[in-house]
Amino acid sequence: MSALNADAILALARNFMECRVLLSAAELDLFTLLAAGPLTAGEVARQRRGDERAMTVLLDALAATGLLAKHDGRYRCEPPVAALLSAESPQSVLPMVLHSAALWPSWSELTGIARGDPPARARAQAPSSQASQKAFIGAMHVVAGPRAPAIVAAIGPGAARALLDIGGASGTYTLEFLRAAPEMRATLFDLPEVVELARARIGAAGLLDRVRLVAGDFYRDELPAGHDLALLSAIIHQNSRAQNVDLYIKIRRALVPGGRLVIRDHVMSPDRTQPRDGAVFAINMLVRTAGGSTYTFDEIRGDLTQAGFERARLIQDGPGMVGLVEAFRPAG
C-alpha cells in the first residue's frame, strides 16, 4: 500500500464486499441472463427463484460497480461485460470467477489455520463436472492466450526441436511455441480428460500433426522421454519442495543430455514479499493444498540442483506469474 492511512486501511478491509457482490452474481449466473435482454428485479428474481427485495439490492450494487447497466427500472449486462462474464461467450472468464467463489470457504479458514487449527480443506469436495472443467480450461486459455507470445519470446525456443509441455492444459503454450519455431514438434502431457480438450484446440489451429498428446498423471507416471526443451508452467506452486524435487527428477529423465527445463511461476524476492500477488497467492496454497507455496529463486535453484540439474538461471521476474527459471540436464 502506497499510503498507509486510515482510509486506505479501511478500504482494504472492505474489499471483500464488492468482491462478494461479483461472486454471488456469478453463482446466480446473472450476467448470462441479463446479456440476453433487460429485465426488472422482479423478473430476475422469478427466473432465478430468488427473493425480489434481496435481488433488487444485489442488482443495484452491480449497477453501481459498473458490472450492469440500469435504465427505467430494468437491468442489462452490456456487451463489453457480457463478452467476459456471460456463459454464452467464447471469451468468458466466468468459470475462473466461479473458481474464485469456490475458494471463499477455504480462505475463511485462514485465521484458524494461522493459529494452528487443522484446515478443513481435506473434507471431501464434489468433483467438477466435465462441462465445468471444459469451461474452466477454456477460460484459462482466454487469460493466458494474450500473454503467451511474450512468455515464449522471453524463453526463446532457440535450437530446440522437441518440446515437452507438462500439464499443458488445452495447449496455449504448445501452440505458441510451434508458431514461434516452425521446425519444432511437441508432446503435451496432461490428465486424460484435459488431453481431449487439447486435441480439439490444437486441431482447430491446424497443428495437430506436430503434436503428440499423452495422457497421464505426473505425480504417478513417468514422462515421455527424448525432449530437448521442457516447459513446467504454473505447476510448482501447488507442490511442496519435496514434491517438486521428485517432479524435476522425472523431467530430467525426460530430457536428452543438455536439454533445458523452463519453469513459469511466481518467483519470490528473498524476503518473500514481492511480487505482491505472489505473496497473496501463497495464502491460496496454504489454505488449499497440503504443502504448496510460492518459492524464491534460491529455493527453486536448490531443488533443481538436488534433482540433478545445473546452470539454473532467473530469466525473468515480475508480477502476474511471469517468473521464468531455466536449468539444464548435464550434457555428460
pLDDT of residue 124: 43
CA–CA separation, 112 vs 120, rounded Å?
A: 10
Contact call for residues 133 and 193 (beta carbons, < 8 A) = yes
**Confidence bin at 136 (pLDDT 50/70/90):** confident
Q: Average pLDDT, stretch 261-266? A: 98
Q: Is the pLDDT of residue 163 over 70?
A: yes
- List C-alpha distances in Å: 193 to 74, 189, 202: 41, 11, 15
Task: List pLDDT tens digits, range 183-206.
Answer: 999 999 999 999 999 999 999 999
Residue 127, pLDDT > 90, answer: no
Grid cell 464488492 is found at: 18
For 193-243, what is each residue's pLDDT tens digit?
Answer: 999 999 999 999 999 999 999 999 999 999 999 999 999 999 999 999 999
74-76 and 69-71 beta bridge pairing: antiparallel
What residue ranges define each of the domains in the chain, with the CATH number in brackets?
A: 6-119 (1.10.10.10), 138-328 (3.40.50.150)
pLDDT at 122: 47
Q: How confident is the model at residue 142 (pLDDT cuts 50, 70, 90)?
A: confident
In angstroms, the CA 209 to CA 73 distance is: 54
Locate 114 and state its grid cell.
494461522
Q: So what's the pLDDT on residue 121?
A: 58
- How far is it, in rounded angstroms, from Cα 75 to Cα 41? 7
Q: 10 Å Cβ neighbour count for 143? A: 11
pLDDT at 146 over 80: yes
How large is the average pLDDT for residues 30-45?
98
Q: 75 has which bridge partners? A: 39, 70
Q: Is 301 helix (H, G, I), strand (E, B) or coil?
A: helix
- What is the H or E stretch that residue 92 is in? none
- Specify the amino acid at residue 3: A
Furthest C-alpha separation in the chain: 74
How much of the chain, in percent, has pLDDT values that exceed 70?
96
The single-letter code of the amino acid at 269 is S
Q: Which residues lie closer than 8 Å to 85 by C-beta, 6 or more apart? A: 26, 31, 32, 67, 77, 92, 93, 94, 97
pLDDT > 60? residue 125: no
Q: Give CA–CA dist 237/292, Å, rounded.
A: 5
Rounded to the nearest 5 degrees, what angle is found at the Cα of 94, between the Cα atoms of 88 and 100? Answer: 165
Secondary structure (DSSP) of 158-216: TT--EEEEET-TTSHHHHHHHHH-TT-EEEEEE-HHHHHHHHHHHHHTT-GGGEEEEE-
Residue 126 has pLDDT above 60, yes or no: no
Q: Can you tell me the mean pLDDT for 37-62?
A: 98
Q: Rounded distance, CA 91 to CA 232, Å?
A: 25
Q: Mean pLDDT across the stretch 244-257?
A: 98
- In whole angstroms, what separates CA 276 from the centre of its chain? 17
Q: Is residue 38 exposed (0-12), middle (13-18) or buried (19+ Cβ within 10 Å)? A: middle
